[in-house]
């Protein structure tokens, strides 16, 4: 097979998060040829999740008639701290029990195709930088605000991964030293104060303290079932408790952004993830806080925008990473 034929092959992209597994086949032109979503069921532990990933890939290959040898490999974006050189998920607060899991090697062995592993926020940042809101921007930060909060840094047009590949864990910067305990073991992380899980937890806490809200009706009285999605719906309907909870999360997100603006002086901050669907209700208070509290020269230089690629950012970024790694492999 010559170089042109190799370059024309699609790749498999996998986006592994705390709540969902997305699998797609993506062309070299970054067209999504097929995709499927499956629940992660992360509480079951690493082995069942890896079984589900394997089954999902085999299912989409069967459905499309695309054999793995016909592709350029597999790019997998996973939540958590990643050592991409060794292919380990070293720690993932949103994937319980995942510590030093050799995900790349396990999938490569099971599926028989070259596999590359990258942090999910890093993948989404690559996607946005090359294909989305960050096109042409040399210095940007990407935040994914969903079940948890992840982050990635691009400086001088290149992804900054740090000494061992785990840079950008923005969700685990300490915002309130006396704040809630985080799944990472720390207290007061940004993730505990502004993520989807944090929004739901705060709404449930306030209902338990006796406050009234239409949220109770949205979940038929089962307040333990409340998620950020129900809080968003209630806020859109003008529910005061829901609006207050989201405003609180937006404030803490803004505090985190102030720190990032002062430290990195980025040209752009892109907000993605499921909670980003709150749009201006989340972003405007955060922007105001940056304007009020960040260094004036830095706050004037930064644009804070919503993702352009939406839920596809991680998949497209994982594909981009796979294409780059495959090209580098062929040049050796």
pLDDT of residue 57: 94
Instruction: Kindly list the strands in the beta sheet with 158-160, ordered across the sheet, starting from the edge strand earlier in the chain.
Output: 158-160, 149-155, 140-145, 268-272, 303-306
**What angle separates helix 240-264 from helix 228-236, to the nearest 10 degrees?**
110
**Ranges of residues in the chain whose predicted pLDDT is under 50:** 1-4, 332
pLDDT of residue 4: 44
Residues in the chain: 332
Core vs surface per residue 207-229: b (16+ CB within 10 A) or e: beeeeebbbbebbeeebeebbbb
The helix (run of H) or strand (run of E) holding residue 81 is strand 81-83
For residue 210 the two structure tokens come to 């006796």
Q: Let me know if the fold of 3-125+312-331 is the same as that of 133-308.
A: yes
pLDDT of residue 147: 83
Q: Which of 35, 61, 40 is nearest to 50 (CA)?
A: 40
pLDDT of residue 330: 60
CATH topology (fold) of 3-125+312-331: Nucleotidyltransferase; domain 5 (3.30.420)
pLDDT of residue 126: 95
How far is it, in rounded angstroms, from Cα 119 to Cα 48? Answer: 20
pLDDT of residue 329: 67
pLDDT of residue 306: 93
pLDDT of residue 79: 87
For residue 152 the two structure tokens come to 């990635």
Cα of first residue to Cα of last residue in the chain, in angstroms, is: 16
Contact 289, 251 (CB under 8 A): yes
Task: Provide the whole-model pTM.
Answer: 0.86
- CATH number, span 133-308: 3.30.420.40
pLDDT of residue 238: 95
Domain residue ranges of the chain, discontinuous segments joined by +:
3-125+312-331, 133-308
pLDDT of residue 332: 44
For residue 202 the two structure tokens come to 């705060």
Parallel, antiparallel or unpaired: strands 149-155 and 158-160: antiparallel
Residue spans of alpha helices (H) in the chain: 3-7, 46-64, 103-111, 120-131, 190-194, 196-208, 215-218, 228-236, 240-264, 280-293, 296-301, 313-331
How far is it, in rounded angstroms, from Cα 177 to Cα 185? Answer: 12
């Amino acid at each position: 097979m010559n170089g042109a034929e190799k370059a024309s092959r699609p790749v498999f992209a996998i986006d592994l998060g705390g709540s969902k597994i997305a699998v797609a086949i993506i062309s070299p032109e970054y067209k999504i040829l097929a995709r499927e979503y499956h629940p992660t069921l992360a509480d079951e532990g690493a082995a069942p999740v890896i079984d589900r990933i394997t089954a999902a890939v085999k299912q989409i290959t069967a459905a499309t008639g695309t054999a793995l040898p016909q592709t350029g490999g597999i790019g997998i974006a996973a939540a958590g701290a990643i050592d991409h050189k060794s292919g380990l998920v070293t720690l993932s607060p949103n994937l319980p029990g995942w510590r030093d899991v050799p995900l790349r090697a396990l999938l490569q062995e099971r599926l028989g195709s070259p596999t590359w592993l990258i942090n999910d926020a890093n993948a989404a940042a690559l996607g946005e930088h090359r294909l989305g809101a960050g096109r042409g921007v040399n210095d940007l930060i990407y935040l994914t605000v969903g079940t948890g909060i992840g982050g990635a840094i691009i400086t001088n047009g290149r992804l900054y991964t740090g000494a061992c590949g785990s840079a950008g864990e923005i969700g685990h910067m300490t915002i309130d030293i006396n704040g809630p305990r985080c799944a990472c073991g720390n207290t007061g992380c940004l993730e505990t104060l502004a993520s989807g899980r944090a929004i739901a937890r705060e709404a449930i806490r306030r209902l338990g303290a006796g406050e009234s809200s239409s949220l109770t009706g949205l979940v038929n009285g089962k307040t333990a079932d409340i998620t950020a999605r129900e809080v968003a719906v209630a806020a859109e309907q003008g529910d005061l408790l829901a609006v207050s909870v989201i405003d609180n999360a937006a404030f803490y997100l803004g505090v985190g952004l102030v720190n990032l603006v002062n430290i990195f002086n980025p040209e752009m901050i892109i907000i993605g993830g499921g909670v980003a669907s709150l749009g201006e209700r989340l972003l405007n208070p955060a922007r105001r806080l940056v304007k009020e509290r960040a260094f004036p020269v830095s706050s004037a230089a930064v644009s804070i925008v919503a993702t352009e690629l939406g839920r596809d950012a991680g998949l497209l970024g994982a594909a981009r990473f796979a294409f780059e790694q495959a090209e580098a492999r062929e040049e050796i």
